[in-house]
Structure 1
Amino acid sequence: MYKLPYFTTDNQDEILDFMHKNTFVTLVGFDGEFPVATQVPIKTIVEGETIKLIGHIMTKTNHCKAFEQRPNVLAIFTGAHAYISASIYEQPASASTWNYKTVQAKGIIRLLSSEETYQVIKDLTNKYEDPETSPAAFNRMDKAYIQKHLKAITGFEILVTQVDHVFKMSQNHSAKNKKSIVEHLEKTGDVLSQEVAEDMKRNL
């Protein structure tokens, strides 16, 4: 990772908050010849000093086989990002850059039983569908339908062993440059750029 002191934080709650908010991760493993990856929604669970990532994958896939054979995995959390043009700097004849936030969590994956996978699917569905009002709520699904689809799904639990991060938001620039960057990003029609602007404004 591109880790420089001014692009990191000592605030562990800030890192965990980022993980809780950015739940669609890239999960990477190794099949013995090449890296394998899949994009999956996960839930981050913090129990004291222990961090676990919970989710599910399709069973008959190259990444599922790789995770089963080699349990060392990497989960990449990605937030809003934006191109930063040097044309708006105090000294524009310099390198442009990219602002972004990311967390990389390394850990050991454990594939879950069908009973455990059932609970993972139930919890994930209930997170996004109101059990009381949504017509797509888990408790409104036919039990036979659920069991049929569970046969193609494998739940997983990752015990996180290392967390690294980069929160690169032009911290190494002058206050004037930061203000110019925010103003420029706010004028764009790009949603991600505007999110980066809002993030930067909190630290101006």
Structure 2
Amino acid sequence: MRQNPSFSMASEEGVKRLIREHPWATIVSRADAAGLVASHYPVLLDEDASGIVLLTHVGRPDEVVHELGRHELMVIVQGPHGYISPGWYDANPAVPTWNFVTAHLYGTPELLSDAENLRVLEGLVDHFEDRMPEPRRMRGTPEDSAYADRIAVGTVGLRIPITRFVAKNKMSQNRPAETVDRIIAELEGDGPYASPALAAEMRRTHEALRAARA
């Protein structure tokens, strides 16, 4: 990913926040047999680990297709993004752009044991079910437990220690404050490119910039 100092996100905590808030990831490998391979799975942070460590699973036979554990792979996590019209800038000539936040994370996955895989699967289910009014658990009843044991054998758990990452947070940091305010207002409006999530991300970014300059 091409970097620009104005948009670089070097903070490990910033990347962790991105993963927590947007856990749907793309896993990319260059396998000897299949060439480039991409799969899509939810990921969680191992909050007890130092650095960035991802926990996830893949469905069989993805572990074979990706040749998991044999080489480094890339995990792409993406946050809010959207089109920014030049009409939101000012009367001067301008071109459109795209605001976004994303991270490319690199590491060699460790394949987990069956027991560890089951714990990761339970953790994934709990993570997303916790906000439901009546959460469903993998082992909520004996029937649930029996079903979980049956489906778990069709998956492979992964722990991915991240050894390096490249992250970018492009939120119009190169625009004057009045232009930024106008873009946020358009994103919060009801036009064809409205995006409240992107507007919120822009607000967070520029509030942090103002605080850093104060």
> TM-score normalised to the size of structure 1?
0.88
8 A contact 1:22–1:77 mirrored in 2 = yes
The aligned residue for residue 175 of structure 2 is 173
Trace 1:122-201 onto structure 2 (pairs within 5 A). 122-130=122-130, 134=134, 136-141=136-141, 142=143, 143-188=145-190, 193-201=195-203
Which secondary structure does the structure 2 equivalent of 1:50 belong to? coil
| Secondary structure of the structure 1 residue equivalent to 2:175 | coil
Distance 1:97 1:177 in 2: 14
Change (3 A) 1:156 1:48: closer
Given that 2:102 and 2:168 are in contact with CA atoms closer than 8 Å, whether structure 1 keeps it comes out as yes
Displacement of 1:189 in angstroms is 5.6
- What letter corresponds to residue 42 of structure 2 in structure 1? P
Overall identity of the aligned pairs, in %:
26
Partner of 1:96: 96
Q: Give distance in 1, aligned partners of 2:179 and 2:69.
A: 49
Whether 1:59 aligns to 2:54 is no
What is aligned with 1:31? 31
Asked if the contact 1:82/1:196 (under 8 Å) is kept, the reply is yes
CA RMSD of aligned residues (A): 2.5
Q: Per the alignment, in what secondary structure is the counterpart of residue 139 of structure 1?
A: coil
Q: How many residues align?
A: 203
Where does residue 7 of structure 2 map in the other structure? Answer: 7
Question: Could you list the per-position Cα deviations for residues 17-74 of structure 1 after superposition, in whole angstroms to 9, with x for gaps in the alignment?
Answer: 112211111111122252111111111124564321001110123x543233633111
Q: How many Å apart are 1:103 and its aligned residue? A: 0.9
Quickly say closer, same or farther: Cα 1:23–1:119, change in 2 above 3 A.
same
Distance, in Å, in 2 between the alignment partners of 1:151 and 1:13 is 34
Task: State the 1:128 CA deviation.
Answer: 2.1
- 1:5 alignment partner, SS class: coil
- Offset, 1:92: 4.3
Give structure 1 stretches of 5+ with no counterpart: none
What is the distance in 2 between the residues matched to 1:24 and 1:145?
24
- Alpha-carbon separation, structure 2, partners of 1:48 and 1:69: 19
Q: Offset of 1:151 from its aligned partner? A: 1.6
Distance 1:200 1:5 in 2: 17
Which whole-Å deviations, capped at 9, do the CAs of 1:70-122 have from their partners, x for residues lacking one? 33111111001110011221244211100000011100111212111111111
- Whether contact under 8 Å (1:79, 1:101) holds in the other structure is yes
Deviation at 1:10, TM superposition (A): 4.5
The 2-side partners of 1:112 and 1:93 are apart by: 55
Residue identity matched to 2:59: M
Q: From the superposition, tell whether residues 120 and 190 of structure 1 become closer, same or farther in structure 2 (CA, over 3 Å).
A: farther
1:139 to partner: Cα distance: 2.0
Structure having the larger proportion of residues in strand = 1
Compared CA separation, residues 88 and 107, structure 1 to 2 (3 A): same
Give the AA of the match of 1:115: A
Deviates more, 1:149-158 or 1:13-22: 13-22
Which amino acid counterpart does residue 100 of structure 1 have in structure 2? F
TM normalised by structure 2 equals 0.84
